[in-house]
Structure 1
Amino acid sequence: MDTKAVQCYRTFFPESQGGLEQVVLEIARGGGGEVLTLSDRGASSGEYSGVRYRTARRWFSVASCCVGPGLFLEVLKNSSGVLHFHFPWPFGDLVYAVAGRSRPLVITYHSDIVRQRWLGSLYRPLMHWFLRRADRIVATSANYVESSDVLRAYRDKVEVIPLGIAEGLYPSLERSCVESVKAKYGTDFMLFVGVLRYYKGLEFLIRAAAGRPYPIVIAGKGPEEERLRELASQLGAKNVHFTGFVDDDEKMALMQLCRAVVLPSHLRSEAFGVTLIEGLMSSKPLVSCELGTGTSYVNVHGQTGFVVQPASPKSLRQALDRLWESPDLAERMGRAGRLRYEALFTGERMVRAYIDLYCRVLRERGLGV
């Protein structure tokens, strides 16, 4: 039996750009497996950053749940020893139920279902069947295990593996790229990087930023972009800049040039925050909100940055003001953040933990290793 795991998630590079896509890439690359996913471009195969992927056509999406029946066949054809699904993705549960053939199953539980509660009630029986079938459920932080009613019900099979990113996967910065980004946005701005989704709390960041002396750079695209641009215009927040999509070179140039990285997410859908790890890696202080999730495990209040009240422009403004007014404090917190990244959140550390887990699951199933 192949000890490699296949990663199953609803989206992947190069079609989409986000923290979970980065995590799936890191695990697949380190573990030598491939990625099965959906794409608006239809059935295809290819390679991204050294990782093989196969796509089935995405037919439609309902409440962020992507559906593409071709994925049933892709899972059936795959010969990996372990199927690794990333939750929540209700269609993924169904794919395993139909095509998983009782193969070893690892689920990384990234988030509770927060907003789609009426759909959640219909989905609950399938969800619990799926979680019961799992050999292991991986939570990304102990904080999330303690604060999730769902995870507490499966505590006997839950393990904690924090997310991590490999610095070597990021591009070396070219001076020309840094100078280009600097010409557009300057330096010492407060930086958000990510997909512009409803739970990211960006409306509160924009309200906090209105009238402040420092720039805010919002890097990324997503379904909330038009609404957020309109809000910034209504508030006269001319210091808020939207970059749209940025590639890895531009993103790392922004990280180098910023004063701090801010993740204003206000709902539990934000279970960890890969952009926070990128901030630690880049020696930048962080500003995040207390959600009872992994964000407050990554960002230690008063040490690597500030953890503030969610959905509160005033609290965000106070934290950003402190980092703007005290560059020495920002630098000290950035150095502490870099040390925390090296100790806890490297991609190598995460991948080793997953490979060990896959091997243990296969041995418990009597499949060797």
Structure 2
Amino acid sequence: MRVLHLFKTYYPESMGGIEQVIFQLCQSCRAHGIEGEVLTLSANPLPERVQVGGHWVQRARLDLNLASTGFSRDALAQFRLRARHADLIHYHFPWPFMDLLHFAAGLRKPTLLTYHSDIVRQKMLLRLYRPLMHRFLSSVDAIVTASPNYLETSRVLARYRDKTQVVPYGLDRQSYPAASPDVLEGWRTRFPAGFFLFVGVMRYYKGLHILLEACQNSHYPVLIVGAGPLESALREQAQRLRLGNVHFLGALPDADKIALLQLSRALVFPSHLRSEAFGISLLEGAMFGKPMISSEIGTGTSYINNHGETGLVVPPGDAAALRQAMDRLWVDADMAARMGAAAQQRYEQLFTAARMGQRMAEVYQQVMARQPRRNSA
């Protein structure tokens, strides 16, 4: 089976959570005889076709980016061309321009949509987009989402429960390079007593301003790995609050990130808005056997992090509760170790890439079996 994935950004230019999910899907589904290909947009699409891992990526030229939505005049022709070679089209929502591509192309192919997140921030634009969105969601053959939590709390998905299934995201531990002894020793020497770790892009929904408030008058190190649009404002906030124990490390190579995951006391993940639909960085913490601190926002974060078992879950936007949770895990090393072991066990039971690939392959087969063969592109 050949599956064409569509999303607005992808490797090697963009390294976000959805991109990671698509990558893991393309890799893990190969074991089930499924060849994945990705169509995406790029401001610099030369070469137009590149190989990432074991699959191909076709890049159409990005002409305009408006309200986090990429537009491309080249994408329609590219979509029609690549879809001719595909048995099934796998859309990754949200990307409103993708809805337009779907209808403009006039394809007669089986379709699946992964519903990664509600549209949270662009409320005014959502009013204009909503009719097209529901027409699009109604038109696809099946929908998957990453957690039962999100299915239960999304007002949009409530309209499509009859065709929505849960396929949790998964990661392949073997795809992560090992941290060298020298790298581990370098970080261990710099932070010998341990530290809390945040990994992610500094976006509005990540709640890093809440984390900085929680760090006031604390003594344990807090390491922030990543960059993003709010970095300058967050650095200014940390300076204003005199947070000498908070360290902004910027974007780091994977070997350093993995070393920090291994050495950390716990992963802190203060996202406070539903734009954080799952939390790949949170899942990485579980994969490396670390307890987690996250907020209850009704999404997949609380599917990964089971309160009292794999870590602690606090009310969103509550700096005092976040601080209390950090204090507990810092003081009680035995509790942190128990929760970390439980987190790793939960990862192995529910969130491996192999499990995701097997489950998605089953859904693909269900979609293909429910309808007659469509030969026209």
Smaller-chain TM-score bracket: over 0.9
Measure how far apart 1:186 and its partner are: 4.8
Offset from partner CA, 1:65-87 (integer Å, 9 cap, x none): 12223221221111111111111
Number of the residue aligned with 1:35: 38
The SS at the match of 2:5 is strand
Question: What is the one-letter code of the residue matched to 2:357?
Answer: V
2:66 to 62, 71, 85: 62
1-structure distance, mates of 2:103, 2:191: 49
Indicate conservation of the 8 Å contact 1:210/1:239, yes or no. no
Question: What is the one-letter code of the residue matched to 2:72?
Answer: G
Map of 1:107-256 to 2, 5 A cutoff?
107-186=113-192, 188-256=194-262
1:52 to 39, 47, 56: 56
Distance 1:211 1:93, change over 3 A: same
1:77 to 74, 81, 85: 81
Using structure 2 for the length normalisation, give the TM-score.
0.94
**CA RMSD between the two structures:** 1.5
Query: Is 1:268 matched up with 2:274?
Result: yes
Number of the residue aligned with 2:295: 289
Question: What is the one-letter code of the residue matched to 1:30?
Answer: S
Counting matched residue pairs gives 366
Percent of aligned positions with the same letter in both sequences? 46
Indicate conservation of the 8 Å contact 2:28/2:356, yes or no. no
2-structure distance, mates of 1:345, 1:65: 29
Q: Which runs of 4+ in 1 moved over 3 A?
A: 180-187
2-structure distance, mates of 1:234, 1:151: 42
Distance 1:184 1:4, change over 3 A: farther
Offset from partner CA, 1:243-294 (integer Å, 9 cap, x none): 2112222211110011101110000011111111111110000000000111
Measure how far apart 1:100 and its partner are: 5.2
The SS at the match of 2:98 is helix
2-structure distance, mates of 1:22, 1:160: 18
1:12 to 10, 13, 18: 10
Residue segments in structure 2 that go unaligned for 5+ positions in a row: 30-34
Indicate conservation of the 8 Å contact 1:17/1:195, yes or no. no
2-structure distance, mates of 1:262, 1:71: 39
Moved more, 304-313 or 16-25: 16-25
Residue segments in structure 1 that go unaligned for 5+ positions in a row: none
1-structure distance, mates of 2:150, 2:72: 30
Number of the residue aligned with 2:93: 87
Distance 1:247 1:93, change over 3 A: farther
